[in-house]
Structure 1
Amino acid sequence: MKKSVKKQLLMNKTGDEIQVALVEDGRLAELIIERPESRRSIGDIYLGRVHKVIEGLKAAFVDIGQKSDGFLHFSDVGTTTEDYRALIEDDDDDDETAADETGTAEDGADEEEAPVAAGAPQEQQGSRQSSRSGGRKPQPQQRKEDGAEKRQSYTQLIAGKLKANDSILVQVIKEPISTKGSRLTSDITIAGRFMVLLPFGGGQVAVSRRVVSRKERARLKKLVRSMLPEGFGAIIRTVAEMQEETLLKQDLEKLLAKWTQIEEKLKDAAPPQLIFKEDTIISSVLRDSLTSDVTEIVANSPSIHKETLNYIEWAAPEMVKNVSLYQGKLPLFEGYGIAKDVESIFSRKVWLKSGGYIIIEHTEAMVVVDVNSGRYAAKREQEENSLRTNMEAAREVVRQLRLRDIGGIIVVDFIDMMDARNSKKVYDSMKGELRNDRAKSNILPMSDFGIMQITRERIRPSLMQRMGDQCPACGGSGVVQARFTTINQIERWLRKYALQHAMKFQQLDLYVSPTVAEPLKNSDMNTELKWFLQHMLFVRVKQDESLRSDDFRFYTRKDSRDITAEYGDL
């Protein structure tokens, strides 16, 4: 029998920053942070303008008013594009192909949960699929060929329709990461507490696969179908299981009211323009994380406490007794003993209870995790020691992925084991832990080299990227150039300058960081005198704390002109 986990939601407001922590059995499991300058944009709906269409990439770049254009892949251009265009273009523009020539992403979804474009909880997000035809299922090879043919014709159809300067209604499904703009879709969805509304779902209703009872699935589908207006679709969420008709109807009415507001705003909108903003961080977290096993909800802010109560009184009135306003003397996170867990997010090294540890390294392409046994060396054989450390590390790795919100490709280097059965135990343990993660992931078995590969859904920058700034000294690499390497570069610059500059006895000022200036000032021979004898140049060394240890700047003393780039290789 699976052990029940005690969960708490802690909502901490400090200044303009809001932190929401999900605590499981006393340990921090997830942390969501929102600041005024970096508000979450997942689920936001924009009226965008197509900047350019690149058929080679099978994508379009769309201006939605952000720093970088959003990326709209053809596979994310919904088959309902014409319906949206009807809202934002003239009524007489009817020369386009009808939208029902290709199936919607949600068509035919029954026993499986239909994929959702954005705004929905992570449990309901997935890759799109073609609509399924009724009757007997085609053979795998036939499906593969039919699918390839449909995708090709669909791509050509989209490429022919999307043109530069077109207006298009899009929704954010991935936030900007590094230099990449937002990932967009035109399959609009609006997430609620018990269901996700598909404004152009064509009457399709799907139920979360986590609702296992056939009787309950049938009840929910029949109930929601009877309430949906014509042309709308819906995905029924797991938390709707065993809920009364009144609550489901209230949730649907709220979602329909939001869609009506979107329609009204579109009438006078000009791209690029934000049309719909997702719920506040508090409402979003409560919508997606509030389950029956949450035993306590604590807020340290009266305004957040009030917002939480208002939401729970409607969504889960039986849980109102679990909501409280924090009155402790210590800060909220310290009072609940998770302050150290929050601080550990920035640490490369994470210790295991056994004495082993893991090292987490972020690279441009992936995240690499190294498992080490450390001082753990009990009186057991090496194989058993390695297995115990690897099993503990597997649990901690998944916890850190959730806690730091790490996505993309993750490679874990476990301690080598000789027995293939032990490798499978670690793999099975990792798979089991990932089932508790709301983000979608894929995992491969451990290789002969002890390497395990994981991909985890990434819809926003990791928590470290959002909470931290790049180190000005190392540029984010974790390593700074040796100061003597910089001194060698300076001397090469001086030789080049002396060769290319005919006039002798020029007066120059050299600016370097204090770490580089220190060996120049304390060398056996006066550096300034040495350079004069070598190059017939008067060079004066000055310190500049704003410079990195791998940087330097030469200025002419006469007119203070920066000549570094003119005579050197920077």
Structure 2
Amino acid sequence: MIPDTIPLPKDIKRPPETVLVNITPQETRVAILEENNICELHIERNSGHGFVGNIYLGVVRRVLPGMQSAFVDIGLERAAFLHIVDMLEQKQNPDETQRIEHMLFEGQTLLVQVIKDPINSKGARLSTQISLAGRFLVHLPQDEHIGISQRIENEEERDSLRERLNALLPENACHGYIIRTSAETATDHELQADIDYLTKVWENIQKQAKTCLPESLLYQDLPLSLRMLRDMFNDNTVQILADSKLNYEKMAQFAQLYVQGAADKLRLFQGERPLFETYGVESAINQALKPRVNLNFGSYLIIESTEAMTTIDVNTGGFVGLRNFDETIFKTNLEACYAIARELRLRNLGGMILIDFIDMTLPEHREAVLQEFAKALSLDRTRVTLNGFTSLGLVELTRKRTRENLNHVLCEFCPVCEGRGRLKTAQTVCYEIQREIVRESRRFDVKQFRIIASQPVIDLFLDEEAQSLAMLIDFIGKPISLETDRYYSQEQYDIVLV
């Protein structure tokens, strides 16, 4: 049974936002606070910029007709992936069936743009439809279509913006544009400045494409501090605080030229404590790396991510404060709606997400939770598709994945447990060692065996497993000595043949 898609409301009033920009020589971090709660975190490190928006002169390495896709080298560690649906020809003629093997061949050079960063073991995803983002417009140099952001809903306003843009374009213009939401309040002068800027950028890209070697980077998007001003600033932004004087001046200059409304909200932070510590962002980041999220009155969430999907479990915990059990469950689920929506944004969780709300017996409670959840998700800048309850009572949604989630950016797999999140018990390791000694005693004729292991494992051999060790010595007929290495993890051991 496929659940129905729940439409997200578009007329929800966004809460006031405070933007914090922390800049060091190593990285830039941008945190967005709504009503003093951190809801978004963007991190860009100098050692590994994100690639979305970058334009490359790629080389086709393999064409896969069966998958209607190709692998393209753009100079990154892994080859990037190009699917037929992201080819310009297919986008311009969606009703016609195109074949990628008729468009591409191995060794062909190709102008491509990254639309998804490399994630886990997957390479970047590419498109041959180039788009260049400005403050008010997105330039589509290979297209002639003029589109308008879906967030601009008033038809009269949409028609007016389209007419204004057409009036500013040259008569022989053959380029397309998408009018962004921020263009609602833009003057003709500001729109013209955007057109001129984006036109120059495209001309420069074309010039480089003729002279640069294959696998060259032709265009890189703005750094995060300036991209934030261009893409995230809106009417609900109350203030923007930056803690680097040099970068504050660059941001102020950029804002004066392209985002004048942001210039009035931009401030240099000069506090006694670091910016992120002052606003509690550091502790919120550390908490966002943990699976458990505490809610009010003792209830909590458990968030677990795998490569395939993310699962979220809602629990009442110690919350038993209302008059009856149904009301307790209902109130917990309502509170969880906003907490889950915020955690999805903060942790940047994407792909398929399954939520196990606490079972509700009343249909009206289930419907109210879905509607409240839709309201909470409507604040997300990333595209979200919400479905109703499945036959198993789970709520299913998808969230567009364009970059690594917070855990992947800040963490790596534990070398001790190898990403399992669990360690073998000392007893399990003891039995592994004994089995291996039996195998080795049959293969080699040695005088004795020496076990080198962690302290908990050696302690167990000397205490609870002393009798089994003695039985093993009798069985193989060779002495066994024990040695502790304090640098060994609990699962690590060596058996030395003497």
State if a TM-score over 0.5 links the two structures.
yes
Residue of 221, 224, 241 corresponding to 1:281: 224
Alignment-derived partner of residue 126 in structure 1? none
Q: Are residue 160 (structure 1) and residue 170 (structure 2) matched?
A: no
Which of residues 203, 213, 228 in structure 2 aligns to 1:260?
Answer: 203
Q: State the secondary structure of the residue aligned to 2:494.
A: strand
Q: Does 1:55 align with 2:65?
A: yes
CA displacement at 1:306 relative to structure 2? 1.1
Give 2:82's match in structure 1, choosing from 69, 72, 78. Answer: 72
Pairing of 1:238-249 with structure 2 (within 5 A): 238-249=181-192
Question: What corresponds to 1:399 in structure 2?
Answer: 342
Q: Does 1:184 align with 2:126?
A: yes
SS at match of 1:241: helix
* Structure-1 separation of matches of 2:167 and 2:494: 73
**Match of residue 194 from structure 1:** 136
- Larger relative CO (CA 8 A, sep 6+): 1 or 2? 2
What is the alpha-carbon root mean square deviation over aligned residues? 2.2
Deviations 1:353-409 (A, max 9, x none): 232111111123111111011111124111111111101101110010001100011
Structure 1 residues 498 and 369: CA distance shift in structure 2, 3 A: same
Point out 4+ residue stretches in structure 1 off by more than 6 angstroms: 526-529
8 Å Cα contact 1:416-1:449 kept in structure 2: no
For 2:365, the equivalent position in structure 1 comes to 422
For residue 114 of structure 1, what is the aligned residue in structure 2? Answer: none
- The 1:3–1:258 alpha-carbon spacing in structure 2 relative to 1, beyond 3 Å, is closer
1:112-137: per-residue Cα shift (whole Å, max 9, x none)? Answer: xxxxxxxxxxxxxxxxxx2xxxxxxx
Matches of residues 106-117 of structure 1 in structure 2 within 5 Å? none
Q: Which whole-Å CA distance do the structure 2 matches of 1:246 and 1:269 have between them?
A: 34
- Kept in 2, the 8 Å contact 1:472–1:548? The answer is no
Written as runs of structure 1 = structure 2, the 5 A alignment for 1:11-26 is 11-26=21-36
Deviation at 1:330, TM superposition (A): 1.2
What is the alpha-carbon distance in structure 2 between the residues aligned to residue 190 and residue 406 of structure 1? 26
Q: Report if the CA contact (8 A) 1:417-1:450 is conserved.
A: no
Q: C-alpha distance in 1, partners of 2:379/2:283?
A: 23
1:471-499 CA distance string (max 9 Å, x none): 22222222111222122122111111222
Question: Matches of 1:280 and 1:304 in 2, distance apart?
Answer: 11
| 1:306-360 Cα deviation digits (max 9, x unpaired) | 1221122123324423211111101112222433322211121111123211111
What SS is found at the alignment partner of 1:480?
Answer: coil
Change (3 A) 1:103 1:462: closer
Equivalent pair of 1:377/1:385 in contact (CA under 8 Å): yes
399-408 or 214-223, which moves further after superposition?
Answer: 214-223
Secondary structure, in 3 states, of the residue corresponding to 2:303?
Answer: strand
Q: Where do residues 336-351 of structure 1 align in structure 2 (5 Å cutoff)?
A: 336-351=279-294
- The alignment status of 1:269 with 2:209, answered yes or no, reads no
Q: How big is the shift at 1:43?
A: 0.6
1:327 aligns with 2:270: yes
CA positional deviation for 1:223: 2.8
In structure 1, what is the equivalent of residue 233 of structure 2? 290
Does 2:314 match 1:371? yes
Q: Does 1:477 align with 2:423?
A: no
Shift of 1:528: 7.4
CA offset digits 1:398-442 (Å, max 9, x no partner): 010001100011111111111111111111111111111111111
Rounded to whole Å, the distance in 2 between the matches of 1:453 and 1:199 is 37
SS at match of 2:111: strand
User: Aligned partners of 2:213, 2:429: CA distance in 1, in Å?
Assistant: 53
Question: Residues of 1 paired with 2:484 and 2:52: CA distance?
Answer: 46
Displacement of 1:234 in angstroms is 0.6
Q: CA 1:552–1:425 in structure 2 vs 1: closer, same or farther (change >3 Å)?
A: same
Amino acid at match of 1:189: S
Contact 1:45–1:170 (CA under 8 A) maintained in structure 2: yes
Corresponding position of 2:162: 221
| 8 A contact 1:51–1:60 mirrored in 2 | yes
Q: CA separation in 2, counterparts of 1:170 and 1:543?
A: 56
TM-score, length of structure 2 as denominator length: 0.92
Mapped partners of 1:438, 1:2: distance in 2: 13
Aligned-partner Cα distance in 1 for 2:91–2:469: 76
Q: How many residues align?
A: 486
CA contact (8 A) 2:453 2:483 kept: yes
Relative distance call for 1:513 and 1:258 in structure 2 (3 A) is: farther
Report which stretch shifted further, 161-170 or 395-404.
161-170
Residue pair 2:347, 2:405 contacting (<8 A) in 1 also? yes
Partner Cα distance (2:221, 2:486) in 1:
43
1:33 matched to which residue of 2?
43
1:362 matched to 2:305? The reply is: yes
Q: What are the Cα deviations for residues 152-185 of structure 1, in whole angstroms up to 9, with x where unaligned?
A: xx1x2x2123121211111111111111111111
Structure 1: runs of 5+ lacking an equivalent: 80-101, 106-129, 131-146, 558-570
Identify unmatched segments of 5+ residues in structure 2: 1-10
Q: Equivalents in 1 of 2:453, 2:350: separation in Å?
A: 39
- The alignment partner of 1:433 has SS state of helix
1:398 and 1:434 in contact (8 A); partners too: yes
Q: Which moved more, 1:66-75 or 1:538-547?
A: 538-547
